Amino acid sequence: MTDLSSIPKVATQPSNPDISAITALCKAAGDPLRMQILKVLQQNAYGVLELCQVFDIRQSAMSHHLKILANAGLVATRREGTTIFYRRNPRNTDVELQALQQVLFSTIDDARLDADLEDHLRQINNERASASVAFFNRNVARFEENQDLIASWTDYGDSVEGFLDSSLAASGTAIEVGPGYGQFLSKLSSRFKQVIALDNAREMLDQCELRATQQGLSNIKFILGDTSFAQTQGYKADCLSLNMVLHHNPTPADIIADCAGLLNEDGVLLVTDLCAHDQEWVRDSCGDLWLGFEPEELTRWAQMAGLAEGNSLYLTQRNGFRIQLRQFSAGSTAT
Query: What residue ranges do the domains of the chain occupy?
Result: 19-113, 142-333
pLDDT at 196 > cutoff 80? yes
Residues 204-240 as b or e (16 or more Cβ within 10 Å = b)? bbebbbebbeeeebeebebbebbbeebbeeebbbbbb
**Which of 159, 200, 193 has its CA nearest to residue 174?**
193
User: φ and ψ at 228, to 5 degrees?
Assistant: -65, -45
Per-residue pLDDT, averaged over 296-319, amounts to 91
Find the range with the poorest average confidence among 64-68, 113-117, 144-148, 162-166: 144-148
DSSP-assigned states of every residue in 171-186? -SEEEEES-TT-TTHH
For residue 306, the 8-state DSSP code is: T
> pLDDT for 320-332, tens place per residue?
899 999 999 997 5
Mean pLDDT of the chain: 86
CATH of domain 142-333: 3.40.50.150
List beta partners, residue 85: 47, 78
Cβ(174)–Cβ(241) under 8 Å? yes
User: Which CATH entry fits the domain spanning 19-113: 3.40.250.10, 1.10.10.10, 3.40.50.300, 2.70.70.10?
Assistant: 1.10.10.10
> pLDDT for 86-143, tens place per residue?
988 877 767 778 888 888 888 888 888 888 888 998 888 888 888 888 887 787 777 7
Does residue 315 or residue 80 have the better pLDDT? 315
For residue 17, the 8-state DSSP code is: P
CA–CA gap between residue 265 and residue 311 (Å, rounded): 18
CA–CA gap between residue 260 and residue 245 (Å, rounded): 16
Percent of the chain beyond pLDDT 70? 92
How many CA atoms does the CB half-sphere of 245 hold within 13 Å? 27
Cβ(304)–Cβ(257) under 8 Å? yes
